[in-house]
Structure 1
Amino acid sequence: MKDLVQSFLNTFQPKPLPKDLILQVANDFEQVTADPDFIKQALQYEVGFLVCAAIGILYILLMPIVGFFLMCCRCCGNCGGEMNQKQKSSIHCHRRALYWSVFITTAIILAGSICMFKSNEALSVSVDQSTAEVNKSLDNLNTFLTFVPQQIEHVMNESFKTIDVVTENLNTIGATLGTEIQDRFRRTFDIALLSVRRLDQETVNTSNHLNELKTTLARLQTSMNLLETNVTSLQNRINQTISNPACNKCELLNPELQKLTLTVDFSLTSSSLSDLQSALDDVIKADLKSKIKEGEDNFNSIPQRVTNETKDAVQSIKQQLDEIQSQISQLTSDIPLSGLTYVSDTLLQIQREFSTITPTVEKAEHIRWGIFLALCCAVLLVVVCNILGLVLGPLGLRPNADPTERSCTANCGGLFLMMGTGFTFIFCWLLMVLVLLLFLICGNAYTLICRPWDNGNLLKFIDTPGLIPGFELGPALQLETNLTFNDVYSDCEKNEPLWSTLHLNEFIDLEDLLNVSKYTEEMQKYIENANISLPDLTLLSPEIQKQLSNFSAKAKDFNVTMVTQQIDHISKINFNSTADKLERLASSQTNPGVVTELRDEAIKLRQIQTNIETNIFPQMEKLNSSIVYLQSLGENISAAVGKALSTLETAQDFLSTNTTQIVGTESREFLDCQMSYFITYADWVNLTITQQVGRCGPVAEAVDTAEMVLCTQVVESLNAFWFSLGWCLIFFIPSVIFSVKLAKYYRRMEHSDMSDNHISMNIIPRANMKSY
């Protein structure tokens, strides 16, 4: 039905939108309405509608007149009013032709009536849906207008977060920049620190073992002194015994007795240890642990030192951050958000007013639906009468029956056909008035609004300068580009952002606004002028290093030869051989007293030997192991001191050479890291503002919804209704003609016409011809 109606309207009005005529009306309505040329042009544009209107007016005027004359004629016995039907041989053929003619026209009228019912219901549904669609569209549009400032505010909030992060990093510059500087020095410093710590451990070990050696020497010397006293006393007793005259051949024991000497002096070894002890004491007094702790404290103080020395620079950079923040905040003031707020408030007011009138609209629509339903029923009444006539007429008709004797059923069929004709004349001209009004209003609405709206000409026409005062988007937004409503709609139909749709780049220099790199050089100067100087990281002073070198030399040159010689001398002592000789000498004596003394002295010697083996030898073994360990420690100390001094020298050279470069590099990297936050934020803002903020798809959807509600749902439904009704009214004319003629074939006649069947013909004889 839609295509059929549009094809009908396009046939009678193929001309495009009359832009010039509309502009003349918009510029000066009173003047152009009095201008004959304008009226002539308007009538020429509306000639198709005028022709159709003229036909409708003729219909309105003629149908009641024709009905009145038909009624008068029939009352006078004319126009089928004579209740007498001549019986002809072709009567059945005529009746069938009229029957199918009425049937076809009735079917066409019924189809139009069905279309009326459907269009009426479609219009009712459309109006019900239109309220929801309009509310939904207004909600979406208002949400869009409300969400745009929220998106801009979100962009601003992200800038505040970025500045807060950078400010926090500046406040903790010691923990960030200082830690980075520490990490660059940590490996070299830790290696030097580890070597000194190992050297300290070796020094402590050396001190402990040196003290243990001295203690062992003292104990061994005490034991040896006691042993020497006992041996000397026993030697004197043996000397007295063998000097006794009663002792036989005892003088032979004098050479053996001379071997009973035990003179060991470990004090000579203490003098060789004094130099090592002195060098060790110097190292211990240097307190390497405190030097290590001092170095660690100095190294760990780098973050705090960075914080203190960059205090002024940080304050200056914070001022720059405030300037950057104010620069970015300018974006809010540059974008005309106040206009969006005004439009949003206007839409809310419109939505509230729409909600207020919605019940009235629904009530009016209910009344309209009832009126249109009654009109549909009026048309349907004619259809029903025709259908009843078409059904009852043939059902009760007997073809060979006399017209005066037709059945009641057939007569009722004829009456129903006449009733349909009567209802037609009663309603048709009134219905044609409605058709004419709807045709002129909705037909022009389609050709002047909906059709141009659908092909895009209406939106282009709206952009015509001067058509709507103050509706020029370009000057209103202070744009140099001629921005049109059609351009905005096209972009919004693609769901483009407001940045490209409204050409905001013409009065907002986003690149310059978000160019934070221009602050980088100045901030770098602030950091460089801070002149960050690191604390003294020298672990060991030259004096301590000299002491360590001396200690290394003493440990390496430690002489233990005398000690080992005396240990070897003591280990060779064996008093058991002398005791054996005393016992043999005692066995050769005759004097019991001498025998007893020699044997006692032999036992004493064995006891002394046992004491040496059980007491002196273990101490000597311990002393020997301590000496061996000290010798190995001496080698370790020499290597540890050499490595410590080497790593310290390397570390000191590294610190002296690279400190300035490292501090400068790390400072620039720290600042670059902070600026990267802004660069990332600027890129994000640029992308968000130009491609994400304010995607205006809801605007195009609102325009499309307005078109759908006005044209697709309302105008198309009304056009379908008047077209269906007009369709029915046009076919009422042949329906009346055929119904009136067909009704006479079913109605019961008052007079019988039997001339065709009962006239008797007298046969006239032929004339006789005389023969000549």
Structure 2
Amino acid sequence: MALFESMRGWRWQGSAGAFRAGVGVMLLGLSLAQSLPHDAACPAAAAPLSLTQPHYQDTAEEDTIVGFMSALVQSFLHTVQPNPFPKDLILDIAEDVDQTQQLDQELLKKVLIYRVGYLVCVAIGVVYIVLMPLVGFFLACCRCCGNCGGKMYQKQTSSTDCRRRTLYWSAFVTTVIILAGNICMFRSNEAFKQSVDGGVVELNKTIKNVNTFLTAVPQQVNFVVDESYKTVQEVSRNLDAIGPQLGAEIQEKFRGPLNPALRSVRLLDRETVNMDMELKKLNSSLVQLQSSVDRLQANVTVVKNRINQTLSKPTCSNCDRMKSELRKLTLDTSISIPSLNELQSAVDDVIRTDLQSKIKEVEDYFNGIPQRVTNDTKDVAENSKQRLDEIRTQIAQVTKDIPLSALTNASKTLEQVQEEIVKVTPQIKRAEHIRWGVCVVLCCVVLLVVVCYILGLVLGPVGLSPTKDPTKRSCTADCGGTFLMIGAGFSFLFSWLFMIVVVLLFLLGGSVYDLLCQPWNNGQLLELLDTPGLIPELEIGPALGLKSNISIPDIYRDCEENQPLWTTLRLYEVINLDDLLNVSKYTDEIRLYFDNTDITLSTITLLSPDVKKQLSSFSTSTKDFDSTAVTQQINNVSSINLNTTADQLDRLAEAQTNNDIRLELQTEAMDLRQIQSDIQTVITPQLESINSTVKDLQSFVQEINGTVGEVLSNVEAAQDFLNTNTTQIVETESRKFVDCQMGYFVVYADWANLTITQQVGRCGPVAGAVDSVDIIVCSHMVESLNAFWFSLGWCIIFFIPGIIFSIKLAKYYRRMKYSDVYDNHIIMNHIPRAQMKFT
């Protein structure tokens, strides 16, 4: 009997081009798979790690200490320069310079008109620079000649105290204002120093962040590609295991109908073996019983003959009636069970079919399905592996299409800039230290003027006695007046020099704020830089090969929102990522290819008709088995009782007068009892054992009847299932396997598309770098610089009223040479006495 027919191999049909395209795209889908809910037929592909964003250092933030005067200074600069940012004028200047290498008169006039506020301020500064030393010189000369308050005489009137107090508080307020400006000078100077020192560090951080970003973008793109390479290796292993994977699924579908059939056949084989053992045990027991019965029958025959001889003796009285009973004394019993032999024959026939070997044959075939799949797909797997290199090349095309070289070049440039910054940092710090020292000197000179005023305002009132003659004022009051004059003198001496510093710093700081910082903050500077043709290197659209130009403000806004480079630089105009990762153009071709693939498994014959016929006959034999015949014969043997005959012999012996006859009858009765005892000790256990075996055998017979029916039913159902569904199962599982691979491709395409378009190159650090430079240059350095010159200008402007009030107030504290007394509205002038000359 043949359990299986030969299995035909898988026949792969279709053209060679279709094969390469189908297998190539299928493996690409596998290699690019991230994760997919799939059946057991889908091997677990290596899932790509989630894309991690680089770590950036914290950059500079707004400092309230640095910008404590920004609102006041900016308000002043907006008043000086209310005009909007001159974008058109700058473009005209750039175009004119490119063409003529100089400005024409018309543009120069426009520039002067635009800067008229600064020109007015510079003119005021120049007038201050020119007039202040001249006024100071003429005032000094005039006072030396006794004019302009130079004469040491003070007229006393009723309003003298009121004027003194008025001048005092005016000078005091002016001094406080100058002191406040001087404090702002010290503070802004220190803030500028901190801005320069911290600016170098923050600038390095900013460059590092941009460099980190530029380095991370190629790494992120390569990450997407490298993750697919790791999966390609996994795909190679999956191809080696394609037999076990697909074969296991086919096995799983076959397992449902085959397992009940095999389980029932195993049960039938086990029950048949057990029944055979019980039958053999029963036959052996019957043989042994027959032997024991024959032996005891021989003993009974011997005793019976002896009894018969004793009863035949003439001296035996009343013995004739015993002869009729003696004829009943026999153990001649033979056990014959024809149905048992028929059952044994049927069992032997089933055992000869060797169901166990048939079961093993089915299991070997069932377990060999994966190996058959492996053998049949060996060439396909090898050819598929050869396509992996081409797949890697196709995936690597993403890195070629994205202009990563420009980022690499920019990163190298930034590294060079950072190296140059490191080189010049010591010179910057040295120059900043010198600047800081010069500004401290300027602050200290202004502070010196303030100190002189304060000493004058303190010593003058302390030493002044209003009722005293002006010529008799105390030294303390006189020193107070002298300090006021010194303060005024220092103001004349240094104010015009300070104004030069103010004008220069005003032009520098104010221009930087108006032309750089303010348009930088409101975006006008970026719009200027985005003007076509102004800076050809900044035309990003043509540089990237875009169909349309891309504006720098748009890039900045996108980077502020931390958008990816895909949308920020409009790379979708250069790279057709959807087409590169599109799987729909391959899906129909692959499905058609596998639909045309003929994958068949031969029909499996579980049990041949002869075996089924033998099992049916076996079931009939078990039904014909009659255990009652065995039981009846066993009961016939167990019903023998020789003690009855022995008791009769004893009674007969007691009636005898002949002692010899009596003794012989008693002896023969004892022999019968001995034989009966042997029956109890030998025959009875054997009968019990046989009876138990018969009961077990009867139980097996009943079970086998049901098992044979279950075997025939399950085998028939399994056979029908396999005959009708084997081809469909193979086709369905193969299609599921292909769909699974397509699912991998679809998932990767979505993941790669999402990663490249939404994760790769989030340019927030670029906008952060621009903002950081703005904070370093404008919010820190420029605002500190503007605060310094504004504070210095504030001080020297108030030097003028300070000079006026201090000079006028000094006469109320200094000791006069000529006295003037006011009493009851009568002014008494001390007439100088005549001096006599002695010769």
TM-score of Structure 1 vs Structure 2, range by shorter chain: over 0.9
Three-state SS of the structure 2 residue aligned to 1:540 is coil
Tell me whether 1:14 sits opposite 2:118 in the alignment.
no
Tell me whether 1:284 sits opposite 2:354 in the alignment.
no
Change (3 A) 1:94 1:594: closer
Three-state SS of the structure 2 residue aligned to 1:399 is coil
Residues 118-140 of structure 1 show CA distances to partners (whole Å, capped at 9, x for unaligned) of 11111111111111211111111
- Structure 1 residue aligned with 2:206: 137
Q: 1:622 aligns with which of 667, 683, 689?
A: 689
Kindly indicate whether the alpha-carbon contact (under 8 Å) linking 2:606 and 2:719 is maintained by their aligned counterparts in 1: no
- Structure 2 residue aligned with 1:680: 747
- Structure 1 residue aligned with 2:47: none
Change (3 A) 1:88 1:609: closer
- Structure 2 residue aligned with 1:449: 516
Three-state SS of the structure 2 residue aligned to 1:757 is strand
Tell me whether 1:608 sits opposite 2:678 in the alignment.
no
Q: How does 1:492-571 map to 2 (within 5 A)?
A: 492-524=559-591, 531-534=598-601, 537-560=604-627, 562-571=629-638
Residues 35-86 of structure 1 show CA distances to partners (whole Å, capped at 9, x for unaligned) of 1101110110000100111111111111111111112212222211222333
Kindly indicate whether the alpha-carbon contact (under 8 Å) linking 1:145 and 1:340 is maintained by their aligned counterparts in 2: yes
Distance in 1 (alpha carbons) for counterparts of 2:602 and 2:682 = 58
Distance in 2 (alpha carbons) for counterparts of 1:240 and 1:646 = 69
Residues 211-244 of structure 1 show CA distances to partners (whole Å, capped at 9, x for unaligned) of 0111111111111222222222222222222222
- Structure 1 residue aligned with 2:304: 235
Q: How does 1:335-346 map to 2 (within 5 A)?
A: 335-346=402-413
Change (3 A) 1:567 1:405: closer
Change (3 A) 1:758 1:672: same
Change (3 A) 1:603 1:753: closer
Tell me whether 1:5 sits opposite 2:81 in the alignment.
no
Distance in 2 (alpha carbons) for counterparts of 1:476 and 1:338 = 12
Q: 2:452 aligns with which of 361, 382, 385?
A: 385
Distance in 2 (alpha carbons) for counterparts of 1:752 and 1:632 = 156
Structure 2 letter corresponding to 1:624: N
Kindly indicate whether the alpha-carbon contact (under 8 Å) linking 2:266 and 2:359 is maintained by their aligned counterparts in 1: yes
Kindly indicate whether the alpha-carbon contact (under 8 Å) linking 2:509 and 2:786 is maintained by their aligned counterparts in 1: yes
Kindly indicate whether the alpha-carbon contact (under 8 Å) linking 1:385 and 1:419 is maintained by their aligned counterparts in 2: yes
Distance in 2 (alpha carbons) for counterparts of 1:678 and 1:56 = 75
State the Cα distance separating 1:529 from its structure 2 match: 6.1
State the Cα distance separating 1:142 from its structure 2 match: 1.0
- Structure 2 residue aligned with 1:576: 643
Q: Normalising by structure 1, what TM-score? A: 0.94
- Structure 1 residue aligned with 2:7: none
- Structure 1 residue aligned with 2:95: 27
Residues 700-719 of structure 1 show CA distances to partners (whole Å, capped at 9, x for unaligned) of 11111111111111111111
Structure 1 letter corresponding to 2:71: D
Tell me whether 1:99 sits opposite 2:181 in the alignment.
no
Distance in 2 (alpha carbons) for counterparts of 1:290 and 1:686 = 57
Q: Normalising by structure 2, what TM-score? A: 0.86
Change (3 A) 1:321 1:529: farther
State the Cα distance separating 1:532 from its structure 2 match: 4.3
Distance in 1 (alpha carbons) for counterparts of 2:103 and 2:298 = 160
Q: How does 1:207-218 map to 2 (within 5 A)?
A: 207-218=276-287
- Structure 2 residue aligned with 1:258: 327
Gaps of 5+ in 1: 761-772
State the Cα distance separating 1:533 from its structure 2 match: 4.3
Distance in 1 (alpha carbons) for counterparts of 2:256 and 2:499 = 103
Structure 2 letter corresponding to 1:41: K
Kindly indicate whether the alpha-carbon contact (under 8 Å) linking 1:295 and 1:538 is maintained by their aligned counterparts in 2: no
Residues 387-444 of structure 1 show CA distances to partners (whole Å, capped at 9, x for unaligned) of 2222222222222323322222222222212211211121111111111111111111
Change (3 A) 1:713 1:565: closer
Three-state SS of the structure 1 residue aligned to 2:645 is helix
Residues 104-158 of structure 1 show CA distances to partners (whole Å, capped at 9, x for unaligned) of 2222211111111111111111111111211111111111111111111211122
Change (3 A) 1:430 1:237: same
Q: How does 1:360-379 map to 2 (within 5 A)?
A: 360-379=427-446
State the Cα distance separating 1:625 from its structure 2 match: 2.8
Q: 1:199 aligns with which of 268, 272, 294?
A: 268
Three-state SS of the structure 2 residue aligned to 1:28 is helix
Structure 2 letter corresponding to 1:217: L
Q: How does 1:55-134 map to 2 (within 5 A)?
A: 55-134=124-203
* C-alpha RMSD of matched pairs (Å): 2.2
Structure 1 letter corresponding to 2:254: F
State the Cα distance separating 1:553 from its structure 2 match: 1.4
State the Cα distance separating 1:530 from its structure 2 match: 6.0
Kindly indicate whether the alpha-carbon contact (under 8 Å) linking 1:177 and 1:667 is maintained by their aligned counterparts in 2: yes
Q: State how many pairs are aligned.
A: 758
Structure 1 letter corresponding to 2:97: F
Distance in 2 (alpha carbons) for counterparts of 1:759 and 1:79 = 21
- Structure 2 residue aligned with 1:767: none
Kindly indicate whether the alpha-carbon contact (under 8 Å) linking 2:93 and 2:103 is maintained by their aligned counterparts in 1: no
Distance in 2 (alpha carbons) for counterparts of 1:138 and 1:102 = 52
Three-state SS of the structure 2 residue aligned to 1:261 is coil
Distance in 2 (alpha carbons) for counterparts of 1:625 and 1:398 = 150
Gaps of 5+ in 2: 1-68, 831-839
- Structure 1 residue aligned with 2:122: 53
Three-state SS of the structure 1 residue aligned to 2:536 is coil
- Structure 1 residue aligned with 2:40: none
Change (3 A) 1:737 1:581: closer
Q: How does 1:119-518 map to 2 (within 5 A)?
A: 119-266=188-335, 268-269=336-337, 271-318=338-385, 323-518=390-585
Distance in 1 (alpha carbons) for counterparts of 2:305 and 2:818 = 199
Distance in 1 (alpha carbons) for counterparts of 2:434 and 2:643 = 148
Structure 1 letter corresponding to 2:82: P
Change (3 A) 1:99 1:570: closer
State the Cα distance separating 1:470 from its structure 2 match: 2.4
Tell me whether 1:598 sits opposite 2:665 in the alignment.
yes
Kindly indicate whether the alpha-carbon contact (under 8 Å) linking 1:411 and 1:747 is maintained by their aligned counterparts in 2: yes
Residues 646-697 of structure 1 show CA distances to partners (whole Å, capped at 9, x for unaligned) of 1111111111112122222222222323333332222221221111111111
Change (3 A) 1:233 1:451: same
Change (3 A) 1:217 1:68: same
Kindly indicate whether the alpha-carbon contact (under 8 Å) linking 1:192 and 1:647 is maintained by their aligned counterparts in 2: yes
Change (3 A) 1:650 1:698: same
Change (3 A) 1:593 1:77: same
Identity fraction in percent: 60
Distance in 1 (alpha carbons) for counterparts of 2:551 and 2:167 = 62
Residues 15-45 of structure 1 show CA distances to partners (whole Å, capped at 9, x for unaligned) of 1111122112222327374411011101100
Kindly indicate whether the alpha-carbon contact (under 8 Å) linking 1:298 and 1:535 is maintained by their aligned counterparts in 2: no
State the Cα distance separating 1:549 from its structure 2 match: 1.8
Structure 2 letter corresponding to 1:95: R
- Structure 1 residue aligned with 2:32: none
Three-state SS of the structure 2 residue aligned to 1:470 is helix
Kindly indicate whether the alpha-carbon contact (under 8 Å) linking 2:603 and 2:723 is maintained by their aligned counterparts in 1: no
User: Please, which moves more after superposition, 203-212 or 123-132?
Assistant: 123-132
State the Cα distance separating 1:103 from its structure 2 match: 1.8
Change (3 A) 1:21 1:589: same
Change (3 A) 1:738 1:623: closer
State the Cα distance separating 1:453 from its structure 2 match: 1.1
Bigger CA radius of gyration:
1
Distance in 2 (alpha carbons) for counterparts of 1:483 and 1:677 = 36
Distance in 2 (alpha carbons) for counterparts of 1:758 and 1:631 = 165
State the Cα distance separating 1:526 from its structure 2 match: 5.9
- Structure 1 residue aligned with 2:33: none
- Structure 1 residue aligned with 2:827: 757
Q: 2:800 aligns with which of 726, 733, 738?
A: 733
State the Cα distance separating 1:516 from its structure 2 match: 3.3
